Amino acid sequence: MDEHVNATRMELLALRVQIELARQGRDLLKEKRNALMKELMQVADTVLRGSDALDQAAGKARQALALAEAIDGPEAVQSASFAAQGQVALTVEGSHVMGVPIPRISAQPVARGFGERGYHPASASVRIDAVAAQFEEEVDLIIDLAAREVLLRRLADEIARTGRRVNALEQIVVPRLMARRDRIRLILEEREREDHFRLKRVKRALESKRHADRTNGIAP
């Protein structure tokens, strides 16, 4: 008998319950992982589209900048850029997606209207104002894309973590519980065979004694 195994029927019943709970937990984690994968694919799609939109906006902004510097001169563009400087206020709030804590990043739109950029409209050409508008659009896209990439990384991390828990239950916890259950089952079956053999031996001994008593004329 394995001295490390508490070979009782109560222990066997308890192990059966543990195995069932472990399997249920594994199945729930698989469902969670599948749901997270679906969410990840949707977010990844928006990230790809956002990345393409950012590349296009960045290209347009640099084309507008090159045109303004060529016609109005680098000094005029630089002067307008100093006047148009400002701050971007970001707000980070906590939320949950499929039970995963996610920081939600948001900001007021950076884009401003004509005459709201700090320089006098008469001191800057339409081309310079177009440069400012293009770069403001690019900043808005960067903020939006950054927020989605944070969500994407968190989902990917949670999928990996959930996958490790599924593997641990499936490949370690459940097999160990089943092996322990099987050992106890074998031990109990061996005990039953031994008890059955002893009972048969006692029964044969009693029958032999009764036969001998009858032979010797001893009343039962």
**Residue 186 in domain:** no
Is residue 108 within 8 Å of 136, Cβ to Cβ? no
- Residue 58 Cα to chain centre, angstroms: 33
Residue written as token pair 């799609």: 45
**Residue 173 in domain:** no
Give the model's pLDDT for residue 122. Answer: 66
Structure tokens at 59: 């290209």
CATH number, domain containing residue 65: 1.10.287.3240
Q: Which residues of the chain register pLDDT less than 50? A: 1-3
Query: For the purposes of burial, counting CB atoms within 10 Å of the CB of 25, is it exposed (0-12), middle (13-18) or buried (19 or more)?
Result: middle
Q: Compute the half-sphere exposure of residue 198: CA atoms within 13 Å on the CB side of its CA.
A: 6
**Residue 157 in domain:** yes
pLDDT tens digits for 55-104? 999 999 999 999 999 998 998 888 888 777 777 778 888 878 777 788 78
Q: Is 80 helix (H, G, I), strand (E, B) or coil?
A: helix
Tally the domains of the chain: 1
pTM, two decimal places: 0.70
**Residue 147 in domain:** yes
Give the model's pLDDT for residue 211. Answer: 63
Query: For the purposes of burial, counting CB atoms within 10 Å of the CB of 156, is it exposed (0-12), middle (13-18) or buried (19 or more)?
Result: middle
Residue 91 structural domain: 28-165
